[in-house]
Chains A and B, each alone.
Chain A
């Protein structure tokens, strides 16, 4: 069980010591060309969550490879590179360019940014093209804003993804208290934080049952209990996003809280808690229930 950051929620170069408290660092999404991102304002607090419409601001793959990646590799933490494109061929090209780099531990395919207008091709096509371009572990990051996320996950699995990152943000809107105008320049933005947690849990639960793939669970995780719920739903690792903004050292706390939570259920290793919420892992669940009733 690893604790990572959610892509776009941490800059390793301005907060290296926070990155070193993680088991792996996921970069902000890199695109083929540089992107300035959306016009400000690009963040707003909402009820039990926050909205962002950053818009994949990044220096582009050339500058990332020549400038950013060498500095990231000095941190001594496994690097997952998040890539996002608008054409299938570009996904393949970026994966190809990352394939030979030993400092890249895994590639996350961002096929689900809610803050850009261009709609990418089908997830299956993207994953297939990326798969043919690289031997690196591929994690496909999906949006919960779809009729059947498990079906999309199965398409990614058939196309060769090694794992899933669940979930990306979902579009939301916040209006100004005084003017009733949208608070973000693009009006709507990606909702993250506690409001996203039940939506993310449902996606993890469904995709675990449908694919059995390793899942990095994320969406409103701010405590060890939250992490445990994602693991029970089927995540094998968890990522922290919005909580890092108010608590940069949250990973230490979540890790120690998770250990206490697992003890409550008589589970010694988080890996033994993966999928406990599913009926088919009834033996595990019965054991957890017995442990809970004894400790209760």
Chain B
């Protein structure tokens, strides 16, 4: 539970998103779907980010600059250092026979690392616009759909679905594949169970997503 000062090695633009790379140092990449708390320069609270890629000696995070914290992260320059805590939470179970990766928008973030660990299963990615879809370059063999076509329109049956994306997408995926594993998102201040900020209703009880998730079984009702 000790944050590490990690040096930024670079960042690249992928459509409207930024892939931020840092030197790995003593940080372990963890299981795909786990997340890290990244110090956002100039902001009080760190930001939760799932690991996108684990190149040798590095960790990479896909960031959507939607607020002051994520914009500060996207503006980081090489050799700057930020504090990083992780890996945190529960990732995807990897004991799957016929994996299918399903991602929506910035929710594709954990899938490249997941794909690497599972030996490149087929991915289906959905985006709001063609500009957002440029990030699909992270998964070269992906089937890409753009709104109004939805990932659930393209999902073949009979797979072990591992998904991450906006809540309506996750709910739609779970309706088609109740056995899917879904990675959820919530605002977090700490990422390690201290702040109770990420509480969501899980199967009728309010629980902390950082402790119980962020990956939950599709049968679990999240509200």
Q: A residues bordering B, Cβ < 8 Å?
A: 8-11, 13-15, 17-18, 28, 36-37, 40-45, 48-50, 52, 54, 57, 177, 193-194, 242, 244-249
Interface string of B167-211 (1 = CB under 8 A from A): 000000000000000000011111011111111110001100001
Which residues B63-111 have CB closer than 8 A to chain A? 67-69, 83, 85
Contact B44 A41 (CB under 8 A): no
Which residues B89-147 have CB closer than 8 A to chain A? none
Shortest Cβ distance from A246 into B: residue? B46
- CA–CA, A49 to B190, complex, Å? 14
What is the count of residue pairs linking A and B with beta-carbon distances less than 8 angstroms? 97
The interface residues of chain B lying within 8 Å CB-to-CB of A28 are 196
Contact A242 B196 (CB under 8 A): no
Question: Which 9 pairs between the two chains have the least Cβ-Cβ distance?
Answer: A14-B193, A43-B197, A245-B190, A245-B189, A36-B206, A11-B193, A54-B196, A10-B194, A248-B1
Which of B69, B199, B201 is the one whose CB lies under 8 Å from A45?
A: B69
Shortest Cβ distance from B1 into A: residue? A248
Contact A40 B186 (CB under 8 A): yes
Q: Is B221 an interface residue (CB 8 A)?
A: no
| Given A11-B194, A40-B199, A43-B195: A245 in contact with B83 (beta carbons within 8 A) | no
Contact B45 A45 (CB under 8 A): yes
Interface size of B by CB at 8 A reads 32
- Known contacts A13-B193, A242-B44, then 5 further A-B pairs from the complex at CB < 8 Å, ordered by chain A residue: A36-B206, A45-B68, A54-B199, A57-B206, A193-B44
Contact A37 B206 (CB under 8 A): yes
Closest-CB distance, A244 to chain B (whole angstroms): 6
The interface residues of chain B lying within 8 Å CB-to-CB of A194 are 44
- CA–CA, A243 to B196, complex, Å? 15
Interface string of B157-168 (1 = CB under 8 A from A): 000000000000
The interface residues of chain B lying within 8 Å CB-to-CB of A40 are 186-187, 198-201
Which of B1, B68, B190, B195 is the one whose CB lies under 8 Å from A17?
A: B1
16 A–B contacts from the bound complex (CB under 8 Å): A10-B194, A14-B192, A14-B194, A15-B1, A15-B193, A28-B196, A40-B201, A42-B196, A43-B188, A48-B44, A52-B189, A52-B195, A54-B199, A242-B189, A244-B190, A245-B195
Contact A249 B2 (CB under 8 A): yes
Contact A42 B1 (CB under 8 A): no
The interface residues of chain A lying within 8 Å CB-to-CB of B196 are 8, 11, 28, 37, 42, 52, 54, 57
Closest-CB distance, A38 to chain B (whole angstroms): 9
